[in-house]
Amino acid sequence: MIPDISVQHVVDELAREPLRNIVLLKHLQAFPAHSRVHRVSDATGAATLVVVDASVTSYDRQAYPGAAFAALISSDHPDLTAQLMRHVPRGVGIVFKLSRDADLAAVESQFAVKPRTAVVSFTAAGPFEQSPGFRMTTDPGDAAFRLFKSQGHDRAWLEPLLRNGTAFACVLEHSGDTPSACFAFENYGPVWEVGGVVTAPSHRGRGFGGQIVRTVLAELTGRGLTPRYQVEADNKASIALARSVGLTPFLTIVHYSHEC
């Protein structure tokens, strides 16, 4: 940590541009005990590095089993990014998550990395309309939790968020069945992420995915919250869904792995 700069000060600075810095803010809020923060600044701007224990995030555990840490960077200038490299752990696997192509050279100057994936974030201001037949709830039921589990979202992670009010689910219920479900949860402050959009295989092709996302977007914007919807860049179907409901991209994070 840079002397005389508290973690809260860094968070406050990042929160000035919450959408640009949402990945860093999300991890700092969710995993404060497993994150380290470093920040540098000069006349060109500022740069922030958040180093997170990769074992605490289910995505990183599954996608990058050889990574000990995830290094998240938000920077105004590649020279500032280069200054942050001394704070990245050596001798272990690292997954770098970069929002600017210009930062890659600073990483490659000290770490051998290869591109792994890119994640695109979307948002929109609305207005949106809720579709009939969908229910907002903090108790979605076993069938919805099974749908979420099929996409890798564990009940043990989601249920506490539902209980404490930092998440809600949206479910479609029909004749005792749950054909489609999704959830939304707080990333940081007013930015909430739409996730777990899933329709049971026997009910696909009926437009439920678009309807449920629009319904959740209507709920979020009606609460004065800013929606975030993220998808891997090669998931053409999910990107098409995002665009079809009126979402627009605002941030692309590219992952690069350094293996030891």
Extents of the domains making up the chain: 7-119, 134-244
Q: pLDDT tens for residues 133-151? A: 999 999 999 999 999 999 8
* Three-state secondary-structure class, residue 128: coil
Using pLDDT thresholds of 50, 70 and 90, give the confidence band for residue 260: low
First and final C-alpha spacing in the chain: 25
Neighbours of 50 (CB within 10 A): 26
Q: pLDDT tens for residues 3-33? A: 346 889 999 999 999 999 999 999 999 999 9
* DSSP label at residue 130: P
pTM given for the model: 0.91
CB 241 within 8 A of CB 229: no
Please tell me the distance from the alpha carbon of residue 254 to that of residue 98, in angstroms, as a whole number.
5
- Show the CA angle centred on residue 106, arms to residues 103 and 108, nearest 5°: 105
- H helix or E strand, kind and range, residue 207: none
pLDDT of 5: 61
Q: pLDDT tens for residues 219-250? A: 999 999 999 999 999 999 999 999 999 999 99
The arrangement of secondary structure in 134-244, i.e. its CATH architecture, is 3-Layer(aba) Sandwich (3.40)
pLDDT exceeds cutoff 70 at 164:
yes
- 247 conformational bin, left if phi > 0, alpha if psi -120 to 50, beta if neither: beta
Please tell me the distance from the alpha carbon of residue 155 to that of residue 159, in angstroms, as a whole number.
6
Query: Would strands 114-123 and 45-53 be described as parallel, antiparallel, or unpaired?
Result: unpaired
- Show the CA angle centred on residue 160, arms to residues 155 and 162, nearest 5°: 90
* DSSP label at residue 106: H
pLDDT of 217: 97
